[in-house]
Structure 1
Amino acid sequence: MSAKHPVIAVTGSSGAGTTTTSLAFRKIFAQLNLHAS
């Protein structure tokens, strides 16, 4: 992990807003033109 290649992890119980969180990250990445590996 580095500043250029950070690791982002989201933890929580299944069904505890995980879909909403996933969609939020997708929108943020799209707006910043970033691609998750």
Structure 2
Amino acid sequence: MQDLTKEQQILVAMRKTLSAVIRDITPPPGMKH
């Protein structure tokens, strides 16, 4: 898996960050905010 280009690595990192942020601001089911 070393054939990722710089652009692909940036995209993957952005996607991971986005999902982490979405998980942070989205309360899990059953929890009231």
Percent identity between the aligned chains? 0
- Number of aligned residue pairs: give it: 23
Question: Which consecutive aligned stretches of 4+ in structure 1 deviate over 2 angstroms post-superposition?
Answer: 11-14
Alignment TM-score, normalising by the size of structure 2: 0.52
Gaps of 5+ in 2: 25-33
Query: Radius of gyration: which is bigger?
Result: 2
Alignment TM-score, normalising by the size of structure 1: 0.47
Aligned CA RMSD, in angstroms, stands at: 2.0
Higher helix share goes to which structure?
2
